[in-house]
Amino acid sequence: MLSAPLFMAGPVPIMPAVVVTWAIMVVLVIGAILLKRRLTAMPSKTQAAAELLVEAVDGQIRDVTGAPPGPYRAFIGTLFLFILIANWSSLIPGVTPPTATMETPAALAGLVFGSIIFFGVKGGGVGGFLRGFALPNPVMIPLNMLESITRGFSMFVRLFGNVMSGVFVIAIVGSLAALLVPIPLMVLELLTGAVQAYIFAILSMVFITSAVEKGTPQPDPENPTPENKES
Amino acid sequence: MSFDLWTLGFQAVNVLVLVWLLQRYFWTPVAATIAARQSAAATLLEEAKARKATAEAALAEVDATRAAMAAERDALLATARKDAQAARETVLATAQAEAEALHDTAKAARVRAAETLKASAIEDAQGLALTIAGRLMARLDGAATDAAFLGWLVEGLSALSEADRKALGDAALKVISATPQDSAAQDTLAQAITAAIGHPVTLCFRASPDLIAGHELHSPHFTLLNSWAADLARIKAALALPDASQDTNGQPDAA
């Protein structure tokens, strides 16, 4: 899949994926601003849907981390929402979803990699975060460091491969068959896009939680401290 | 298939900016709205629980008050029943006592009235008997009557013991007759009395119409009643004492 820049901003090429991402950002932010102005104690249907989304994200975060969802809500929720909208943008004729290009999933995986470091250091400090690589023993340090890179790479490849393959299949079938034939595949692509967004968000949360838990001293159940007894 | 680093950087920055914007305009406000609603709901639930507790306490207090009132009412009813029973028994006892007193009073009055009526009837009968006896005596033959009474006088003297008859001669005997006796009659009486006593005695004769008929002997220590007036007096005494033995055979009564 080769894509040419839409325009050049000096030496910087502006690719279609970036423009589509800007469009998605504009839609989401304007919608959020409009929704924020209309937030009431008696929710409308739109507000109820938004609250349902927030509560679903909070529930997933709480299930995975067992901690209050506040620190992770914006990042995980935005990842899910952006990937979902980006995947479903393939339904708009002439639009290639940003997640079907390598740069966007790679950027998302890079952000997840950075967030793992950020939340790990925030939870256990630099020392605690680095000590997490030595678990269960220091021999595992190279493998743990390699794993932290490869799992981000796997997220990138998984998202990119699924979305790109779906776009390719729909394009090939559409070029070979009649106009309405790709519709079932497009419906399937909706499901695939939602599943991939969910998987990406949940895996991000799992990896962040793992880094936080490894960096945080765990209580010894056989020799509890007074603080642990109270908790 | 190419990989543009400018696009990678743009997308990373775009997503970071989107995270910041949505956190500012979507995630935080909506979560705050949910939290505010949950807090309001919790507050309402707490208030409802407090009001429910207050209502239950008030209900319990009302129930307790109602139970106390019922107990007090039962106690008052029991006391009233007890007082009424006591008052009833007192009234019944008083009424019974008054009735018995009235009954006794009426019975006594009735007895007194009957006794008074009986005494009055007896007195009337006595008066009637005296009147009848007087009128009958006026129609009878005086001589025959005197002879009969003289016979009964002799029988009375004969019934006395010898010692009593002898004692009669120690003092003068007074012979009282219902009608004045002439000398012949006095001799007849003297002979009969002397014969009955068995020795001579001193006699003096008197007349008393109160005797109606008959002859009586009187001395300082002896009286022989032998007259119709004495018989009527004995009958009157017998009527006054119905249970006593009556002697109405007209025999002379010696005392």
Q: Domain residues of chain A, as ranges?
A: 7-217
Verify cis geometry, omega within 30 degrees of 0, for the bond prior to A13: no
The residue segments making up the domain with residue B170 are: 142-254
> What tens digit of pLDDT does each residue of B131-179 get?
887 787 777 777 788 888 888 988 888 888 888 887 877 778 889 988 8
A79 close to B (CB below 8 A) = yes
DSSP structure string for B72-113: HHHHHHHHHHHHHHHHHHHHHHHHHHHHHHHHHHHHHHHHHH
**What contacts A8, CB < 8 A, 6 or more positions away?**
A14
Which of A33, A47, A54 faces B27 most closely, judged by CB atoms?
A54
Q: How far is the alpha carbon of A87 from chain B, nearest alpha carbon, in Å? A: 15
Any CB–CB contact under 8 A between A132 and chain B? no
Alpha helices in chain A (DSSP H): 16-37, 45-65, 70-88, 103-131, 141-176, 182-215, 226-230
**Residues of chain B with C-beta less than 8 angstroms from the C-beta of A21:** 10-11, 14-15
pLDDT tens digits along B37-88: 999 999 999 999 999 999 999 999 999 999 999 999 999 999 999 999 999 9
Q: Does a structural domain hold residue B28?
A: no
Distance CA A73, CA A60 (A): 10
- The answer, yes or no, to whether residue A156 has pLDDT greater than 50, is yes
Query: What pLDDT, on the 0 to 100 scale, is given for residue B244?
Result: 46
Distances (CA, A) of A199 to A154, A205, B12, B125: 12, 10, 19, 149
Q: How many domains does the structure of chain B reveal?
A: 1
In chain A, what is the straight-line distance between the N-terminal and C-terminal CA atoms, in Å? Answer: 55
- How far apart are alpha carbons B199 and B160 in whole angstroms? 14
* Percentage, residues of chain A above pLDDT 70: 92
> Tell me: the pLDDT tens digits for A72-117?
999 999 999 999 999 999 888 888 899 999 999 999 999 999 999 9
CATH assignment at residue B234: 3.30.2320
- Answer whether A36 sits within 8 Å of B14, measured CB to CB: no
User: CB contact, 8 Å: A22 with chain B?
Assistant: yes
Rounded mean pLDDT of B236-253? 58
For residue A105, give the nearest of A118, A87, A128, A121 by alpha carbon.
A87
Q: What is the pLDDT of residue A105?
A: 94
pLDDT of residue A128: 84
Q: What string of DSSP letters covers B191-216?
A: HHHHHHHSS---EEEEE-GGGSSBEE
Q: Name all contacts of B186-191 with Cβ < 8 Å and 24+ positions apart.
A: B188/B150, B189/B150, B189/B215
The H-assigned helical ranges of B140-200 are 142-158, 162-167, 183-197
The encoded tokens of residue B107 equal 């019975």
Residue B24 Cα distances to A62, B11, B21, angstroms: 21, 20, 5
Select from B8, B206, B150 the least CA-distant residue to A156.
Answer: B8
User: Is A78 within 8 Å of B23 when comparing Cβ atoms?
Assistant: yes
Give me the residue label for tokens 């022989």: B224
Using the beta-carbon criterion (under 8 Å), do A32 and B26 form an inter-chain contact? yes
**pLDDT surpasses 50 at A226:** no
Out of B7, B8, B22, name the one closest to residue A32 (CB).
Answer: B22
Contact B15 A79 (CB under 8 A): yes
Closest CA to B1 of A209, A195, A150, A161: A161
A81 and chain B: CB distance < 8 Å anywhere? yes
Count of alpha carbons within 13 angstroms of residue A4, beta-carbon side:
2
* Position A213 pLDDT exceeds 90: no
Calculate the average pLDDT of chain A: 87
Q: Is there a contact between A201 and A80 (Cβ–Cβ < 8 Å)? A: yes
The helix or strand, by DSSP H or E, that contains position B218, with its residue range, turns out to be: strand B215-219
pLDDT(B111) > 90: yes
pLDDT at B52: 96
For residue B17, what is the nearest residue in chain A, using CA coordinates?
Answer: A25
Q: Does A107 contact B22 at a Cβ distance shorter than 8 Å?
A: no
At B246 the pLDDT is: 45
Contact list in B for residue A15 (CB cut-off 8 A) is: 4, 6-7, 10
For chain B, count helices (H), then strands (E).
6, 5
The answer to whether A99 and A191 have CB atoms below 8 angstroms apart is: no
pLDDT of residue B200: 82
Interface touch A106/B28, C-beta < 8 Å: no
Please, is B193 exposed, middle or buried when counting C-beta atoms within 10 Å of its C-beta (0-12, 13-18, 19+)? Answer: buried
Query: Do the Cβ atoms of B11 and A50 come within 8 Å?
Result: no
Is the CB of A23 inside 8 Å of chain B's CB atoms? no
Residue B151 resides in a domain: yes
A143-154 mean pLDDT? 90
C-alpha span between B37 and B209 (Å, rounded) = 144
Question: What average pLDDT score do residues A43-61 get?
Answer: 93
pLDDT band at B112 (very low <50, low <70, confident <90, very high): very high
Task: Judge whether B36 lies within some domain.
Answer: no
Q: Beta B203-207 vs B173-177: how paired, if at all?
A: parallel
